[in-house]
Amino acid sequence: MDEIEQPPMPHDEPPGVPTNTSTLINYTLKFTGAPSLGQLVAVAVAAAVYTVLSWLAIISLPSGFPVVSSVFIAIGFGIPFALWFGGWAFVIAYIGNFVGAGLLSAPPLPLPIALWFGTVDLIQLGLPMILYRLLAKHFAVNPIGKDVYTVRGFIFFLLCGVLPNNIIGGLYGNFILMQSGVVPPKAFLLSWFTWSLSNVVVTLVIGSALLKTLGPVAERFGLTIRNAFS
């Protein structure tokens, strides 16, 4: 009697093979090529959203200090935008802060001060983007923060996307406001503390949720910027 050939049995994925395709995508700061139309549209939408949210936070949730919101909702969106859109984070950051938190604040900052004040978010959004692009793969975390709710991912997010940028950005921003006469020197420390603490809390709550839920969607549709600007 002939031997009956048995169908091959399914086997498990070999250990160490990543099941999340994002781990196979390399996010860098290289200048290569041009962005797609879809990516440019996504960046433009992100810049508009960040600008509007910055304006709304400043005028509707004041802290008692000029141009400092008690709950700066925009930063919770800005950090994910920065990680998703690479070098375009600097464009989103500057437009959002210069226009939304500067020219459109109540009362509006004078143009020279608003131009200077716009540079604050180059730190608050740009620093996390740079740290993630340079260090994420070395610490085995997702380069756009999709693993933010794991222990390793959360610690990396806290140390690279929450604390340094918001603390340094708050210090620099209040220095500008103090030097410009917008915030009196005696209010500097309290204004800095209010700015930094509020941003840290908002980034931890809103920023982490967006990274976890919308990051995979943006990546799946090819909207994330995988090099510096493309």
**Domain boundaries defined on the chain:** 29-220
Distance from C-alpha of 225 to C-alpha of 43, rounded to nearest angstrom: 9
Task: Quick: pLDDT tens for 76-103.
Answer: 999 999 999 999 999 999 999 999 999 9
Task: Quick: pLDDT tens for 207-227.
Answer: 999 999 999 999 999 999 999
Q: What distances in angstroms separate CA 132 from CA 108, 203, 205, one per listed residue?
A: 34, 15, 19
pLDDT of the residue at 64: 81
pLDDT of the residue at 1: 47
Q: What is the mean pLDDT of residues 50-70?
A: 90
Q: Which tokens is 33 given?
A: 């090529």
pLDDT of the residue at 228: 95
pLDDT of the residue at 24: 66
Find out whether 168 and 194 touch, Cβ atoms under 8 Å: no
Kindly report the length of the chain. 230
Does the 29-220 domain belong in CATH 1.10.10? no
Predicted confidence band of residue 148 (pLDDT cuts 50, 70, 90): very high
Q: What is the mean pLDDT of residues 17-22?
A: 44
Q: What is the mean pLDDT of residues 133-144?
A: 96
pLDDT of the residue at 66: 80
Find out whether 170 and 195 touch, Cβ atoms under 8 Å: yes
pLDDT of the residue at 15: 45
State which amino acid sits at residue 150: T
Predicted confidence band of residue 53 (pLDDT cuts 50, 70, 90): very high
pTM of the model: 0.87
Task: Quick: pLDDT tens for 157-210.
Answer: 999 999 999 999 999 999 999 999 998 999 999 999 999 999 999 999 999 999
pLDDT of the residue at 193: 94
User: Using CB atoms within 10 A of its CB, is residue 137 exposed (0-12), middle (13-18) or buried (19+)?
Assistant: middle
Q: Which tokens is 166 given?
A: 């918001």
Q: Which tokens is 103 given?
A: 């020219």
pLDDT of the residue at 11: 45
Rounded mean pLDDT of the chain? 90
Predicted confidence band of residue 19 (pLDDT cuts 50, 70, 90): very low
Find out whether 102 and 118 touch, Cβ atoms under 8 Å: yes
